[in-house]
Every structure is written in C-alpha cells, then in structure tokens.
Structure 1
Amino acid sequence: MADKRPHRGATLNRESTRFNLPERMADGDWLDWREAVDGAAPKLRTTVTVEKPKTIITRNSSPDIGFDRSINPYRGCEHGCIYCFARPSHAYHDLSPGLDFETRLFAKPDAPALLRAELSKRGYIPRPIAFGTNTDPYQPIEREWRITRACIEILADCHHPLTITTKSDRVTRDIDLLTPMAKQRLAAVAVSITSLDPRTAMTVEPRAPTPARRLAAVEKLSAAGIPTYVSIAPVIPAITDHELEHLVARAAMAGAAGAFYLPVRLPHEVAPLFRAWLDTHFPERAGKVMAIIRSLRGGRDNDPDFFTRMRGQGNWAELLHTRFQIASRKAGFGGMKLSLRTDLFRPPPGDQGELFD
C-alpha cells in the first residue's frame, strides 16, 4: 500500500526479493508508536550507521561511462529522489530500496585514510575520480561528517583530478579547494537540475535544495573559475520534459560551461517504486508517463544495455535529442570538451617523507 509521507520521496518500503532476503519487521520504535496513537503517520527519522569498507575507490569498466573510478562517501541518500538508480544497492544491506534508502544511511569516515593508502600504492595510475556517481556526496549529513571535503583535501594535496556531480549547493563550501585545482585543470563540477518549478522539484526530489539555490551554486562556482555544467538528469516524460529548453537557457544564464541530459532510468526495484509514486502524485498521467518510458526503453520499463540505456531509443528519444541540440546551440554551448590533467599527480608523502618536510 502506498504511503504518502511529507518531505519523503518513495511511497513504499518493500523489501527486495532479488537476494532472497527475509522480510524486515517493524522495529517497534516507541516514538513511532506514540505518533501513531496521536493519529499522525509515524515520522521517519534519518539514522546514520558507520560503514567500514576495506577500499574506497570503486572501479568500473562500462564503455558508456566517462570515468573508470569513483568514490562514494555515503550509502543511501536523504535527498529522496524517486528515480535514483542507486536505490537497489540498499537491498545488499537487507534494507528496502524505498524509504529505507532515504532514511537509513551509511557513512564511511575511514574514506580519507583509505584513499590516501590507495593513492600511495606502487604503480597507481591516476585518472579522474568521480564523486556523486551513486549517492550525493553533498547530501545533508555531509555538513556534520565532512567526509567528502576530507577526500577532496587529499586529492588537492596530491594534484589528483576529480569530478563532482551533486544536487546540493553545499558544494560551494569547498570552493577554496576546488578553485586552485580548477586552475590546474584538475576539477570540474556538474550540478543536477531537473526542474525549475519548486513544486515539481519538491515532489521529485523532496529533500534536495531548491532549483533557485542550485542555479545560484552554478553561478558561484562558475564565477570562481571552476568548470561547471548543468546535468538535466533525468528527464521524466510528461512531467519535466517540457522544461528542457528553459533549463538549458537558464544554465547558460548562470554561466555554466555546458549542459547534458539523460532520460529517466528505472532499474530493478526502482520501477515499482516509481510506478507507486506516479499513482500517488500524478495519477491522471501515470499511464502516459509509463507508456513513453516503455517506448524509450524498447517496450520495457528499463533498458540495461550499454549506450542505449543512456540516450533511449525510438521517436521520443530522437525528438528529445533534437530539442536538446537546438537549445544548446541557441545557448551558445558547444560539446562536452572537458579534459582534466593527470600528469601533475604526486603520491601522498609517507611518514618518512613528512619527517623531512
């Protein structure tokens, strides 16, 4: 049964069955019971658990992704974006990709030490490290945990290139680190903006900063000399696609170096969560939205195939591509020409090196 919660994205909290995990029972938290007795829906409080991974750099060999390594300081994301393709990863923890993904978070405070160790390994070959590929590195808990900043500090010291993708204007906090890196072609940022309408944004991405704050972040980052792009990702048919041209134009006005877009993807448990969300928030157009998505995805809710998963297929995908190209030309944007340097990298100094500094 769908459960519309204020300021939360998913309307369901079903367990995943892909890994044959047992169904999780209610924990009986006394505050939840008290609120239920008072007649209100139990309030979902965000909790953070410390995770202790053995490594922090994640590698991938996907041919349609422009990076081969990434860092995710957190697991789960309080922004609560209903379309987030990272939601299924919570199933590995015997947690729901639904509301658990937004409320039961994991932090990796050992990430900076692990990063330093991995960069120190003999034979390490530098390539840009991507932040924000799974969950947002600047989600609200970064304010206290500051794991993302600590990792950037190490990369800055080592002259190691990085890219950041985020929905949060909190990224501007780290301009002091990113500007010197950008001057050496070591840093670039993409700010994700899916809608200019505050009400739509609040429904699609309930705990992310407002579109106005994100555009202000683009302006501030660009003014600081940091190559900044606007990620219009995802484009949701019949909900946000009509804003595509306006988003490109506003990105240019904010000083962005360019923009790019991706059609919505619904892998694994994301598809039923998205359908339930549509039925709750957009019941009058739910059928239309899913029909267009299936036309984009070869008749399925999701297309996992390389390359087509990023751009879609069919007439609707071609129309979207044409609209974006025309809007980009009008905005004065060229292609994505970003190239970060790797030749400046120097490994972190060891204990012996620090002794004689």
Structure 2
Amino acid sequence: MRGRGALSNPANRFAPTHRELDAEAALYDGESSDRIATVQINERPKSIISRNRSPDVPFAQSINPYRGCEHGCIYCFARPSHAYWDLSPGLDFETHIICKTHAAEQLEQELRAKNYRCQPITLGANTDPYQPLEQQRRTTRELLEVMLRFRQPVTIITKGALITRDLDLLAELARQQLCSVMISMTTLDPQLKRTLEPRAAGPSTRLTAIRELTDAGVPVGVLLAPLIPMINDAELEAIVEASASAGARSAGYIFIRLPHEVKVLFREWLDQHYPDRAEHVMSLIRQSRGGREYDSRFGNRMRGEGPFADLIEQRFRLALNRYGLSRREGLQLRTDLFSVPPQAGDQLALFR
C-alpha cells in the first residue's frame, strides 16, 4: 500500500476469528486499491496523564494525544496496543487513528487537582505527538499551551518535523528550563526511510529540525531507535556524527523490539524488501534475545544481550566520545516553578 508500512492487516491476538482476503473477491469488492485513507476516531478520555513504573523507562508520567500512528513505522513496538480496541496492529494501526478530544481541558483539570505532584510529563512515549494528523488537530500544541501556563516541565519524543511549528512555545518553556526534545533518527538513507517509516519526515528534514530547535535554545538529543541488525546498524556512527553537527547534545539508542504481532509484521516487511538477508537479520535478533525473537525483561528489552548487542553498545559509547555527546539520561528539568494559574471565580471564594 502506498505510503503505508505494514504489508497486511492480520487479526489481533484477541480476535476469535481471522479473515483472509481473496484476490478475485478483492477486485470485485473494490478492495484492491493501493491506497487506504486515514480514519479518525474521536475519543474523550476520562484521564489524560498516564503513570509509569517501569524501571528501564526514564519518566514517570506521559501523555499520548493519539492512539495509532500515521507514520507507519513497521517496527513500532506500540502496534500491539491497537488490539485492545479490536483493531489490527497492521494496517489498522496506521490508518485508524484514535484522537483524544478535549485533551488540553482534561490536562488542566488534572494539573489543578489538589493531590497533583509536579513531575516532568513525556509527550510521545507510545505514538508520535507530531504525526501528520497533528497539523489539523493541534492537540499537542494545545497541551503545550496548558503546560506553559502552569509551568509544567515536559519532554518530547518525535520523528515529526512539525515540531518546529511550536518553536514559540518550546523556546519559552526551554528558557525556564521546562522542556527538552529527543528527535528519533533511524537512518540517513531516504530510500530506506520510505519503506521503514513511510510517512515520517525524511532524514535531512529531521536534522534541520534539530538545528532549528537548538538555535531557539531548546535542548535537543537524538534517539537511535531502533537499531536493526544488517538494516541500519552500520549507520550508527554516521547518525551520531550528523546529529552532533546539527546541534544535538545527547544521544541514546534502543535495540529493535518485536513484541506480539510486531514480529510477524516485521518478518513480512523483511521478506518483501530484503529477502536476501531476512533470515540473517532474524538470526542476529534471536542471538541478542536469548534465542527468542523478543525478550520483555526490564533492562534487556531495550539493549539486548550477547556478542552482537555488546558490540552495538561499544560502538555507541565510542561514537559518543568521538563526537562529544553525552549519554541520554534525562535532562534535569525544573519542577519548583510549577504554579496553578488563577481562574474565573477564584477571588470570590475568599469572601464565602
């Protein structure tokens, strides 16, 4: 499908039945189009801030304005979450996007709660807050406007160049040490990008975004995620160098993760685009996952283990030293500036 990452739409792991589309029936039913339109599904959440206790994740609070992601990255570890809405982690994940309405209003309500304790909030922990739909929905921008008013610290993870639209808000947040950004860089090869993450910004566009954010005073790091054996791992040093030249201050990486349905979708992608090395890629992944295609243990799931994973770690450490970047450990943002702004009716309460 043009502009889409997944090659199929398999039933999710909870579905009681599985459907296979016959080629002739598809032609008759008009389902053979090589394009699929994006479907927007509105959802009004009862809460907007998610809490996290995973020991290998560097944040305790996060907000995901969207469920599903139009970027269509074939490797996305968040794909299996679409199963909870009885949708496929395949094409459904990138074509049926659940958009959280009234998100800024809900965030303000939660920040005003008497029991709220200020900690940084991460935008983009699961799906990208600057995916294409954000251009019209503007949910992420509205959330940032609330955070600026409350002086709530925020970190952002994205591969979307649309983030530069919000430079005015990000620059002011950064001036008060309330903001940092991680730009996800997977490859410097535009051709690989087109199949690996079809609707994400191109490599040069992301590097330009790093420069613009840096010039505006926003602390920027780069996240090499994921590193895939025999697909993009050879670019590790080049990505670090290019990111440092663009102004990145820090870097981190994540070894490819293939939970649940992602392993099937990723293997389909390999067989289609890299049939000559597909088995070698999967063999190296298994070697780095204790003989399995995925290891969910905390600590191991992000880095892998064994000789190949150790080599990646050594190369990454040397690249950081060579190009003067620090390791991504999470920039210390200020929480002492947090303040609940007055709202209509606050003064009248003094006389009751």
The normalised TM-score by structure 1 is 0.93
Residue equivalent to 1:215: 207
Answer whether contact 2:69 2:127 (CA < 8 A) is retained: yes
Partner Cα separation in structure 2 for residue 7 and residue 349 of structure 1: 46
Residue equivalent to 1:227: 219
Match for residue 6 of structure 2 among 3, 10, 15 = 10
Answer whether contact 1:116 1:348 (CA < 8 A) is retained: no
Return the offset for 1:303: 0.8
Where structure 1 has 5 or more consecutive residues not aligned to the other structure, the ranges are none
Return the offset for 1:24: 6.4
Answer whether contact 1:32 1:42 (CA < 8 A) is retained: no
Where structure 2 has 5 or more consecutive residues not aligned to the other structure, the ranges are none
Query: Residue 155 of structure 1 aligns to a residue in which SS?
Result: helix
In the alignment, does 2:191 pair up with 1:195?
A: no
In the alignment, does 2:169 pair up with 1:169?
A: no
Please list, as runs of the form range in 1=range in 2, the aligned pairs for 1:77-88 lying within 5 A after superposition.
Answer: 77-88=69-80
Partner Cα separation in structure 2 for residue 74 and residue 136 of structure 1: 8
Please list, as runs of the form range in 1=range in 2, the aligned pairs for 1:114-129 lying within 5 A after superposition.
Answer: 114-129=106-121
Structure 1 residues 9-55: Cα deviation after superposition (integer angstroms, max 9, x where no partner) = 011101112x24444698xxxx986755xxx6352111101012100
Structure 1 residues 142-199: Cα deviation after superposition (integer angstroms, max 9, x where no partner) = 0000000000000010000000000111001111001111111100001111000000
Match for residue 351 of structure 1 among 320, 328, 344 = 344
Structure 1 residues 248-291: Cα deviation after superposition (integer angstroms, max 9, x where no partner) = 00011001111111110001111111111111111110001000
Residue equivalent to 2:38: 46
Partner Cα separation in structure 1 for residue 211 and residue 78 of structure 2: 28
Partner Cα separation in structure 1 for residue 281 and residue 41 of structure 2: 36
Answer whether contact 2:250 2:326 (CA < 8 A) is retained: yes
Please tell me the residue identity of whatever aligns with 1:330.
Answer: R
In the alignment, does 2:337 pair up with 1:341?
A: no
In the alignment, does 2:174 pair up with 1:178?
A: no
Please tell me the residue identity of whatever aligns with 2:267.
Answer: R
Structure-2 change in CA distance of 1:136 and 1:21 (3 Å): farther
Partner Cα separation in structure 2 for residue 91 and residue 348 of structure 1: 39
Partner Cα separation in structure 2 for residue 6 and residue 114 of structure 1: 36
Answer whether contact 1:21 1:94 (CA < 8 A) is retained: no
Structure-2 change in CA distance of 1:8 and 1:348 (3 Å): same
Partner Cα separation in structure 2 for residue 12 and residue 354 of structure 1: 58
Please tell me the residue identity of whatever aligns with 2:300.
Answer: T
Aligned residues: 344
Please list, as runs of the form range in 1=range in 2, the aligned pairs for 1:13-92 lying within 5 A after superposition.
Answer: 13-17=9-13, 19-23=14-18, 41-92=33-84
Query: Residue 253 of structure 2 aligns to a residue in which SS?
Result: strand
Structure-2 change in CA distance of 1:291 and 1:179 (3 Å): same
Identity rate, percent? 49
Residue equivalent to 1:147: 139
Partner Cα separation in structure 2 for residue 177 and residue 189 of structure 1: 13
In the alignment, does 2:319 pair up with 1:319?
A: no
Structure 1 residues 291-340: Cα deviation after superposition (integer angstroms, max 9, x where no partner) = 01111111111110001111110111110011011111110112336111
Partner Cα separation in structure 2 for residue 42 and residue 239 of structure 1: 26
Query: Residue 156 of structure 2 aligns to a residue in which SS?
Result: strand
In the alignment, does 2:324 pair up with 1:332?
A: yes
The normalised TM-score by structure 2 is 0.94
Residue equivalent to 1:294: 286
Partner Cα separation in structure 2 for residue 344 and residue 113 of structure 1: 21
Partner Cα separation in structure 2 for residue 100 and residue 269 of structure 1: 13
Query: Residue 123 of structure 1 aligns to a residue in which SS?
Result: coil
Structure-2 change in CA distance of 1:354 and 1:20 (3 Å): farther
Structure-2 change in CA distance of 1:42 and 1:255 (3 Å): closer
Structure 1 residues 112-142: Cα deviation after superposition (integer angstroms, max 9, x where no partner) = 1110110011021011100111110000000
Partner Cα separation in structure 2 for residue 305 and residue 291 of structure 1: 20
Answer whether contact 1:58 1:71 (CA < 8 A) is retained: yes
Partner Cα separation in structure 1 for residue 241 and residue 190 of structure 2: 17
Partner Cα separation in structure 1 for residue 103 and residue 343 of structure 2: 18
Answer whether contact 2:2 2:35 (CA < 8 A) is retained: no
